[in-house]
Amino acid sequence: MVDLVVLGLGYVGLPLAQQALRAGLSVVGYDVNVDVVRALNDGSSHVDDLSDADIAEMLRHGFRATTDQSEIGTAETAVICVPTPLSEDGGPDLKAVKAAAHSVARSLRAGMLVVLESTTYPGTTDDVVRPILEKSGLTAGVDFFLAFSPERIDPGNEHYGTHNTPKVVGGDTPESTGRAATFYSRFIEKVVRANGTREAETAKLLENTYRHINIALVNEMARFCHELGIDLWDVINAASTKPFGFQAFYPGPGVGGHCIPIDPNYLSHNVRAKLGYPFRFVELAQEINATMPSYVASRAQNILNDAGLAMNGASVLLLGVTYKANIADQRESPATPLARRLAALGAKVTYHDPRVERWSVSGFEVPKVNDLEGAVASADLVILVQNHREYEANRLAEVAKRFFDTRGVTSGEKSHRL
């Protein structure tokens, strides 16, 4: 018997397994991807926050990955950490969640704790996962324990990880909540109990909807501040001196990653489907943030026009094509729609990114430059999309003919800032 089986060995499941192992729990990882399982058992990591050395440490502590469903039944606790991408209708695609729940149901035992961590809409744990598990003949809250605990992984965050980020848990019964809280307390510093599964599910969506809407606010302010000749970055710095009632958010070329562009849509979709009216804040924020790559392309075109150059035929170098600084993850990166729009305007697009060896947009591979300073100096326009730590932005702006900073990190007069 093992303490924990983690279903889904990605950016959520692997750090969870790592922290449980460090606390002395015995852990098995289950995944349907044979290549991922083989690589992990060979000591190779495929996520940003864990190195090969981290995986080697996990293996030394007894971790092993498997594709064998029967291993699930050997665990006291099963935690589901599978992806929930957007479906065609704008809601979460629950195929992976349902498949994982069926896998658990086949091996479910009395007394087992099952926790869903995959981000989804309110009601998924009770209305989707629970009926699948109860096909085993066991009853949730009576024969086994069921809870939801939202993942709060922030890839690349050097201060907060699985161990010291408070863990929200909500069970389908108070006893299930208690069992889940006891389990997570074994390797996470602080556990916060929600009233139930729906409250825990909605808490995650509120967190990311809050960020989504506030990012949209400053993105819209970036547009009119530029037209009015106001330095928005200075405005934000000034407002940030208020010690209460204000939290700084910053504009950018668009939102990306696994949370902000996706999770608020789960809530919006759920409101429309169940209540019949729109969640207007979310839908407006989505509209604003989704148009930022096109706005950046338009600003880039104006920068070239002011220099007497056309976008058609101009060489445009993009710096940083991941969705976040200092990681390799490209999911939903705004660099992709930006490159697509620039190419549609006739630009010759190249890129540099110390973490991305190959990058394709709409099926076409974008040429990568390796000589950073040489490429910056020769391009008609350089656009800083993601400010990796390897970039000395002010120096690059001095070298470039024209430099468009979408992250507000430059201070020289040669740089155009969003």
Q: What is the pLDDT of residues 212-247, one digit of tens each?
A: 999 999 999 999 999 999 999 999 999 999 999 999
Query: In this structure, is the dihedral angle defined by the CA atoms of residues 253, 258, 259 and 265, taken in order, positive or negative?
Result: positive
> Are the beta carbons of 309 and 380 closer than 8 angstroms?
yes
> In whole angstroms, what is the distance from residue 342 CA to residue 383 CA?
11
For 351-360, how does the pLDDT look when each residue is reduced to its tens digit (9 = 90+)? 999 999 999 9
Angle between helices 280-290 and 263-275 (to 10 degrees): 140
Q: Which residues of 47-63 are buried (b: 16+ CB within 10 A; e: fewer)?
A: bbbbeeebbebbbebeb
Confidence of residue 275 (pLDDT cuts 50, 70, 90): confident
Question: Does 136 have pLDDT greater than 90?
Answer: yes
> Are the beta carbons of 314 and 347 closer than 8 angstroms?
yes
Burial of 219 (C-beta count, 10 Å sphere; 0-12/13-18/19+): buried
pLDDT of residue 272: 82
User: Residue 7 phi/psi, 5° resolution?
Assistant: -100, 115
Domain spanning 291-417, CATH class: alpha beta
Q: What is the mean pLDDT of residues 361-369?
A: 95
User: Residue 349 phi/psi, 5° resolution?
Assistant: -95, 130
Q: What is the mean pLDDT of residues 328-333?
A: 90
- Residue located via tokens 């020769």: 378
User: Residue 376 phi/psi, 5° resolution?
Assistant: -65, -40
pLDDT of residue 269: 77
Please tell me the least confidently modeled range out of 113-117, 146-150, 166-170, 206-210.
206-210
Residue 270 structure tokens = 């759920």
> In whole angstroms, what is the distance from residue 73 CA to residue 78 CA?
9
Return the beta strands (E) in 166-245 as ranges.
167-171, 191-193
Residues with Cβ < 8 Å from 416, sequence gap 6 or more? 299, 303, 402, 403, 404, 405
User: Residue 399 phi/psi, 5° resolution?
Assistant: -75, -35
> How many CB atoms lie under 10 A from the CB of residue 136?
18
Residue 28, H or E segment: strand 27-30
> Are the beta carbons of 342 and 366 closer than 8 angstroms?
no
Q: Partners of 170 in the beta sheet?
A: 148
> Are the beta carbons of 87 and 93 closer than 8 angstroms?
yes
The ranges assigned to domains in the chain are 2-204, 291-417
Please state which of the four CATH numbers 3.40.50.720, 3.90.180.10, 1.10.8.60, 3.20.20.100 is assigned to the domain occupying 2-204: 3.40.50.720
Confidence of residue 261 (pLDDT cuts 50, 70, 90): confident
225 catalytic? Reply is no
pLDDT of residue 268: 81
Question: Does 412 have pLDDT greater than 90?
Answer: no
Question: Coil, strand or helix: which one is 244?
Answer: coil
Check if 2-204 and 291-417 are the same fold: yes
Please tell me the least confidently modeled range out of 108-122, 171-185, 264-278, 339-353.
264-278
Of 301, 342, 345, 302, give the one whose Cα is nearest residue 318: 342
* Distance set, CA 370 to CA 203, 319, 327, 328, 335 (Å): 43, 11, 18, 17, 18
C-alpha of 34 from chain center: 24
Confidence of residue 4 (pLDDT cuts 50, 70, 90): very high
Q: What is the mean pLDDT of residues 267-286?
A: 84
Question: Does 279 have pLDDT greater than 90?
Answer: no
Confidence of residue 48 (pLDDT cuts 50, 70, 90): confident
Mean predicted lDDT score pLDDT of the chain: 94
- Residue located via tokens 């070329």: 253
Q: Which residues of 328-351 are buried (b: 16+ CB within 10 A; e: fewer)?
A: bbbbbbbbbbbbbbbbebebbbbb
> Are the beta carbons of 316 and 347 closer than 8 angstroms?
yes
Residue 317, H or E segment: strand 315-319
Confidence of residue 92 (pLDDT cuts 50, 70, 90): confident
Paired sense of beta strands 27-30 and 415-417, if any: unpaired
pLDDT of residue 414: 85
Confidence of residue 42 (pLDDT cuts 50, 70, 90): very high
Identify the active-site residue in 36, 96, 129, 259. Answer: 259
pLDDT of residue 182: 98
C-alpha of 350 from chain center: 25
